[in-house]
Amino acid sequence: MDKRSLDPDGNTVDAASLTQWIGRAKEGDVGAFQRLYDLFARKVLNFIYRMVASAEEAEDLTQETFATVYQKLATLKDDARFEPWLFRIARNYVYQRYRRRTPPMVSVDDQDEEGRTTAELVDERKGPLEAFESEELERVVQRVISDLQEKYREVFILSAIHRLSYQEIAEIVGRSLPSVKTDIHRARLQVRQRVKDYLKV
């Protein structure tokens, strides 16, 4: 996923347009708010999905996130910080949902149509990477990410998948830059090990 803000047609959106839409959305312009939604919904949905490992919950939390954004947009002082602010709201909803769940979180999406889990599929194959189908590899990726502890999972998703800067990630998760840098490195080390374990490569 690209770091730049893209509109639904895949065109880069400049900062001036973004600021204009935010300004109009603050005044209650639903059309401008929909432009913001179109720009960021995919990113937010995927961030939440990778965190909670459930498409249905991710859709629900995405809706909650944008509803809160609409209500609280007037409190955003610096429009340039919109994206980290948006992700902070999404992250808060994810952690609220974690607190209501009893661990461990088992993904209902971690099975194929025949009910086999990712681990079972991988054990069956034990061959070169090319032998795996695309959906199986996607499930391996999701499993690898889900295996991470929450604080490593969120920084991994934001850095490796959403390609946000370390500074933006520190702002989103509310930790210091050095702490975030260390956590990202540890997350990557764990991902490297898990990919090796699951694929036996």
Partner 1 sequence: MDCRLCSDELTAYLDGELSAADATRIRQHVEACPPCQDELQALRGAADFVESHVQAVEPVPEIWNNLRARIAAMPAPADRSGFFQFLVVNRWAAMLATLASTAVLALGLWGYLAHQAAQQALESYMNDYILERSVAERLYAVQIRQWRNLTSVAGVNWVPVSENPFVDQRPVSLANPFVSEER
Positions that interact with partner 1 (CB under 8 A) = 1, 26-28, 30, 33-34, 37, 41-42, 45-46, 49, 55, 58-59, 62-63, 66-67, 70-71, 73-75, 77, 134, 137-138, 140-141, 144-145, 159-161, 165-166, 181-182, 184-185, 188-189, 191-192, 195-196
Residue closer to partner 1 by CB (options 103, 135) is 135
Least separation, in Å, of the C-beta of 53 and partner 1? 11
Residue closer to partner 1 by CB (options 18, 158) is 158
Burial 100-127 (b: 16+ CB within 10 A, else e): eeeeeeebebbeeeeebebeebbeeeee
Q: Is 114 helix (H, G, I), strand (E, B) or coil?
A: coil
Least separation, in Å, of the C-beta of 36 and partner 1? 11
Residue closer to partner 1 by CB (options 102, 136) is 136
DSSP letters, 10-37, are SPBPPHHHHHHHHHHHHTT-HHHHHHHH
Residue closer to partner 1 by CB (options 44, 99) is 44
Residue closer to partner 1 by CB (options 9, 27) is 27
Least separation, in Å, of the C-beta of 66 and partner 1? 5
Distance CA 23, CA 32 (A): 9
| Residues in the chain, overall count | 201
Burial 78-95 (b: 16+ CB within 10 A, else e): ebeebbbbbbebbbebbe
Q: Angle at the Cα of 117 (from 111 to 121), degrees rounded to 5? A: 115
Least separation, in Å, of the C-beta of 26 and partner 1? 6
Least separation, in Å, of the C-beta of 144 and partner 1? 7
Distance CA 119, CA 70 (A): 41
